Structure 1
Amino acid sequence: MPVQAVSDRIRPGITVVVPVKGRVELTRRLLESLEKSAVRCPEPAEVVVVDDSNSPEAAEHQESCRRHGARYVGGPAHVGAKRNLGARLARHDLLCFVDSDCRAAPELLSQHVQALRGAPSEVAAVAGPALLAQEGQTAISRIMNRSWLLNGHHEDPLHHERMTCAGTSNLAVRRDAFEAVGGFPEDSPHPLGGEDIDFGLRLTGRGHITACDPEAVVTHDATSTDSVRAVCRRLMNYGRSEQWLCLVHRQRRRFRLNPVSVLALTGLASLSGPRSTRGRRALAVPAVAGVLLGARTIPLLHGERSARALADSVACALLECFFDLGAVVGAVEHRRPDLLFAGFEMPDDSAYRRADDRS
């Protein structure tokens, strides 16, 4: 659905759009931090919260919005549709997207405004880093700090001059460029995951640039990775979303040795043939699993040699298998068996690393 302004009287300033479902206390903390950041902003700033929580939580969100001067609107379940709705309701010509489990630094909005106002016209967006909060971490969130699959590009704006696509936990965009590319997708089969990558690729595809500002900082709360259940749910969803990205951006689809697919085929092969050999063939399953686990664990060590680092890396590798399971589920959902051994190739932003980060 095209994203169009509800009014032609768009004024200079910045509108922060926050998609929400649940997370009452986290959202309250974000709104409090944005209220403080707005005071330091050199231009008018507003916050629009788009929520699809149930009735008790929705009422709490409305109260938080009243307390901190934000606008509240009920919205759809799809996070892309929420962001698009917030953009349509925005009063200003700059848009800023921040996730509800983040907190804004006092200078966040002023940094985004100054970066976009001072940039050439081809710079349509500015990405800031989302630094993982150190307080309140559990053993699981500490372990999953090693996972690129979960943390992805969150800290890349610290090290890059620009990016092909950036996460929407901390992204400011010129409104005219946002509308020109149609905003975020609303037709993806999963309410969360992949919509920020798709948006970034379409923005870049139109000749726009997403610059990075290491001073425009938000802090990403650890609660989204504080339990095994939360980690598995997120990774499953990301795996399913990757298969949608493979279909939408076919040029970035590549062969990937999905461990879950490999183990499934190994198990099926062990069951075939004469019964007398099935027991020996079944030994291939744990052998293959061990090789695959080792191959995934080694990069997660990051060169560390301690027993704790090894244990954390093995645990992280095991949990990351839920991403592979999600990819298999996605292939089945799309009725595309060819996706069982396919993955999405993320853009290579290495050419845009800052000089002081290059070895």
Structure 2
Amino acid sequence: MSDVHGKGLSVVVPVKGRVPQLRRLLESLREAATACQEPVEVLVVDDSEPADAQAHRDNCAELRARYLRGPRHVGAKRNEGVRAAAHDLILFIDSDCLATPQLLQRHTKTLRDAGEGVGAVAGPTFVQGVQNAVFRVMARSKLLNSAFEWPAQASRVGWATTSNLAVRRDAFEAVGGFAPRPLTVVGGEDVDLGLRLTAAGHGIVCDADAVVVHDKSSIEHLGTVCRRLVTYGRSGQWLLDVHPHRGRPKLNRVSTLAATAVAGGVTAPVSGGAGLLLLPAVAAVLLAVDTKERLGDDAPTVRALAESVACAGLDWCFDLGEFIAAWQLGRPDRLFTGFGWTDDPAFVWDREPANRYGG
């Protein structure tokens, strides 16, 4: 295909399964395209099983999206979509999201109006407000969905989630696109891309009005939440491999409990078994400290305390992911090292977010 790409916006959507969710997204993108003053195309890159793949093909044909078969890793799917794209601006959005009516027009206008040194625009992603118990618990977390909302709280960021990120194609290609095979199938590739864009002088500005709505299914079940947090923790250790200068000392709760368990077992024979009490004692202290942090300024009602305790425990899944990946990558020296997610001047906050990684 030609190396010359026309003026317009190509929307790239990676997917596996999620047939109803993707159809809803395609419908929302079709509506948003009518408000955009530039040409728009939508590319779906899929590695679903045959039945779901056929459903995606049918929906793409009906809703005028291009269907592509792609690899397993999400970053590699997005790279495939960009290679096939016709336009000079690219919008990345996730298959379990919905575009708001002005999304495409906001991104194209903001990118066109941005000066030199801007390579991307990040918009906020707001999770649908289902008020079940899991939602209330995770609303207290600084790990699960906080990065989604940073573009509504900052004027510039050093990286942004690719649930809602528009990039100049030339900037994307200049830094080599997404890492095709990170440690996890999904997770961390968006952080890595943003950091490389920023380091290369292609800054990321924010447009608080370029809004995406995230499907509630990602936080409806505890099992889904735990898996996501473990994945995020594992991706943090991979990010330390590719951005080692961003390592920061961290009190990893799981590493602390593992070290305490070993120490308790070693001292138990000479302490008359008292060493075995170390683990529950340390766990209780850590849980109490984390619960207080998540309770914040709320009155300590039974429900607020229960939600804060549950949130603290669930957030330890992130630490579990870091713990697992440190061993998986052969880096036990990083059991007490975390990734510096936002502690650099590339993040310019209009208002300090309530929930910020590492904060």
TM-score range, shorter chain: over 0.9
Once the two structures are superposed, the pairs formed by residues 1-359 of structure 1 within 5 Å of their partners are 6-135=1-130, 137-273=131-267, 275=269, 277-305=271-299, 306-348=301-343, 352-354=348-350
2:335 is paired with a residue of what secondary structure? helix
Deviations 1:214-273 (A, max 9, x none): 110000112111111101111111111111111111110011111111111111111114
SS in 2 for 1:142: helix
User: C-alpha displacement at 1:75, in angstroms?
Assistant: 0.5
Partners of 2:143 and 2:182 lie apart in 1 by 20
Quote the Cα distance in structure 2 between the aligned partners of 1:24 and 1:210. Answer: 31
**Distance (Å, rounded) in 1 between the aligned partners of 2:222 and 2:51:** 26
Post-superposition Cα deviations, 1:263-286, rounded to whole Å, max 9, x if no partner, equal 111111111146262521111111
Q: Is the 8 A contact 1:141 1:227 kept in 2?
A: no
2: CA distance between counterparts of 1:266 and 1:82?
Answer: 42
The letter for the 2-side match of 1:81 is A
| Larger mean Cα displacement after TM superposition, 13-22 or 291-300 | 291-300
Aligned to 1:3: none
In structure 2, distance between residues paired with 1:269 and 1:253:
26
Deviations 1:306-352 (A, max 9, x none): 32222111111111111111111101111111011111011236862
Whole-Å separation in 1 of the counterparts to 2:307 and 2:246: 31
1:176-225: CA deviations, max 9, x gaps?
00000001111312111111111010000011210100110000112111
Q: Partner letter of residue 315 of structure 1?
A: A
- Residue range with higher mean Cα deviation, 264-273 or 164-173: 264-273
Asked if 2 retains the 8 angstrom alpha-carbon contact of 1:271 and 1:278, the reply is no
CA distance in 1 between partners of 2:168 and 2:80 (Å): 16
Structure 1 residues 278 and 86, CA gap change in structure 2 (3 angstroms):
farther
Consecutive unaligned residues of structure 1, counting only runs of 5 or more, are 1-5
Question: SS at the partner of 1:103?
Answer: strand
Instruction: Check conservation: 2:326, 2:335, Cα contact below 8 A.
Output: yes
Tell me by how many angstroms 1:356 deviates.
11
* Other structure's SS at 1:153 match: helix
CA distance, structure 2, for counterparts of residue 36 and residue 278 of structure 1: 71
Count of aligned pairs: 352
Tell me how far apart the structure 2 counterparts of residues 127 and 85 of structure 1 sit (CA, whole Å).
21
Q: CA RMSD in A?
A: 1.7
SS across alignment from 2:91: strand
Query: Is the alpha carbon distance of 1:82 and 1:357 closer, same or farther for their aligned partners in structure 2, counting shifts above 3 Å?
Result: closer
Does the 8 Å CA contact 2:268/2:276 hold for their aligned counterparts? no
Distance 2:21 2:272 in 1: 53
Cα distance 1:176–1:159, how it changes in 2: closer, same or farther (>3 A)? same
Distance 1:278 1:181, change over 3 A: farther
TM-score by length of 1: 0.94
Q: How far off is 1:298 after superposition?
A: 2.1
Give CA deviations for 1:287-309 in whole Å, capped at 9, x if unaligned: 10011112222222231113222
CA contact (8 A) 2:125 2:212 kept: yes
Of all paired residues, the percent bearing the same amino acid is: 51
Contact 2:226 2:317 in 1 (8 A): yes
TM-score, structure 2 normalization: 0.94
* Alpha-carbon distance change, 278 to 262 in structure 1, aligned in 2, over 3 angstroms: farther
Give CA deviations for 1:117-141 in whole Å, capped at 9, x if unaligned.
1111211100000011114x53213
Whole-angstrom distance in 1 between the partners of 2:147 and 2:250 = 20
- Counterparts of 1:154 and 1:285 in 2: how far apart (Å)? 35
